[in-house]
Amino acid sequence: MTPAAMPDNMPAPGLERRDGMGRLVAVTWHGTGTHAAHGSARWLVAVDGSACSSRAVAMAARLAALAPGAEVDLVHVQSWLSKEAAETGLARGGWAATAQARQLLDAAGLRWRLHAVMGETAPEIVGLAEALGSHGIAMGSHGLTAAASVLLGSVAYKVLHLAGIPILIVR
């Protein structure tokens, strides 16, 4: 990603991943503090900028604070973007949607990393949790009715059924 593509207050990501076409598909920022020691507690929190995801971050922060050296990984998943749109949109979207979450974790003095990825939401969340060795996934639920959930799908429901680790769903 070029420096011109980043907003003034957004630092350059520490890592970038591209697909076979050269399209930017993931960026990662290393946040505050040093990173957790191997084997320490790690929570992955799905963040979409909603009040529900903010409550999930707050709950994960409380749980992480109980374990010395714990770290919180934030993930923001965006739908597929064109190669050109991904160059600016992926990082900007992830950084903007997680502003409140990052502030909460900073205020709590917790270590964090931010992952902005592109793809299908539930599989990306579960795949990242597995790759990072997360102890659990925290996410908000918008509380869709059964009928709406069938029509629209529910990311929380899909993650719950795909993941082999504990899931914390916060309303």
Tell me what the pLDDT averaged over the chain comes to. Answer: 86
CATH number of the domain to which 20 belongs:
3.40.50.620
Its domain, for residue 116, covers: 8-170
Spacing of C-alpha 42 from chain mean position:
13
Number of independent structural domains in the chain? 1
pTM: 0.87
Q: Where are the alpha helices (DSSP H) in 16-69?
A: 51-65
* Residue 12, SS3 per DSSP: coil
SS3 content of the chain, % helix, strand, coil (to 5): 40, 25, 35
What is the layout of strands, in order, in the sheet containing 111-118? 15-18, 24-30, 111-118, 71-78, 42-46, 136-140, 167-170
In a domain, 1, yes or no: no
Judge contact between 162 and 123, C-beta under 8 A.
yes
Q: Please check whether residue 3 lies inside any domain of the structure.
A: no
Average pLDDT for runs of 10 along the chain of length 171: 54 93 94 57 93 94 90 95 92 95 93 96 96 94 60 76 93 82
Give me the pLDDT at residue 39, please: 53
Q: What is the pLDDT of residues 16-55, one digit of tens each?
A: 999 999 999 999 998 865 444 555 689 999 999 999 899 9
- Residue 2 counted as domain residue: no
* Residue 141 forms part of a structural domain: yes
Q: Quick check: is 81 in a domain?
A: yes
Q: Residue 42 carries which DSSP code?
A: E
